[in-house]
Amino acid sequence: MPAFRYRFAVSTPSVPFVPLETKLNPPTGARRRVSRGAIVDRLVRSEPRRLTLIDAPAGWGKTTVLAEWAADPREQRPFAWFTVDRADNDPVRFWGYAIQALRNAVPSLGAASVAALGVVGTNPIEIVLPPLINELLALDERIVLVFEDYHLIESAEVHEGMSFLLEQLPPSLELVIVTRLDPPLPLARLRTRGEMLELRSAELRFSPDEAEQLLAGVVGTGLEQADVARLVTRTEGWAAGLYLAALSLEGRNDQSAFI
């Protein structure tokens, strides 16, 4: 286990932490959803793991895949959601939201950890996370905790706490990190141990059949397969690019010539 540097003290806000519940709501996915069955199969059927990393630029359908995974009837675990913003670089705020997300899924969790966050100078790695990990270890059920937009976290203190949690993670919890950049976490070690599933742009790329479904939902079924294949090639299967192309095609008489 890496040696963590307990070199920070966390100050407590002057007012009690009140989580904004909309940051803890699960995503709804795209309005015009295309089933990503092959990807969801991997997420549901893969061996138990500590971390699922979904890492791709904007518009690659990361949130849509998450929503479909959570809704899949084969997935029996409850999902806890935390959509990160830049203000969550404060460790007290970050862990307050993470624990509240878990409590939304399993209300019995985290009371001692929440109380510890209210103490001035509390170190999350020493005081807040150990009782939470112990409670998770004693759980009979398993949970998935999602951190969406984790690329907005720049705090070394938050990254250290996340690294500690990953190293000590009990079997009852799987972390999901949705990001546009690889976070400074022990990814290589998890990869080597076979404890991480990674989805990147290459895996999220739309196939011609998926692209045809997306385009048909916007412009109907009039496109030739060659035109669909050409759009897939030009957008490299980028979901947002295909959708924007479909909007440009809508209402045009000669769609093939426009492509």
Tell me how far apart the alpha carbons of residues 226 and 6 are, in angstroms, rounded to a whole number: 59
Locate 229 and state its tokens: 């294949």
Strand 51-55 versus strand 173-179 pairing type: parallel
Question: Which residues make up the CATH 3.40.50.300 domain(s) of the chain?
Answer: 21-204
Locate 124 and state its tokens: 């999350």
- pLDDT tens-digit map of 31-82: 557 889 999 999 999 888 999 999 999 999 999 999 999 999 999 999 999 9
Strand 173-179 versus strand 143-148 pairing type: parallel
What number of CA atoms fall less than 13 Å from residue 27's CA on the CB side?
Answer: 22
Instruction: Name the CATH code of domain 21-204 (choices 3.20.20.140, 3.40.190.10, 3.40.50.300, 2.40.128.50).
Output: 3.40.50.300
**Phi, psi for 139 (deg, rounded to 5):** -70, 145
> How high is the mean pLDDT of the chain?
88
The count of other CB atoms within 10 Å of the CB of residue 114 is 17
Tell me how far apart the alpha carbons of residues 17 and 99 are, in angstroms, rounded to a whole number: 12
Whole-number pLDDT of residue 247: 85
Low-confidence ranges of the chain (pLDDT < 70): 1-17, 28-32, 221-222
Calculated CA dihedral for residues 162, 167, 168, 173, nearest 10 degrees = 70
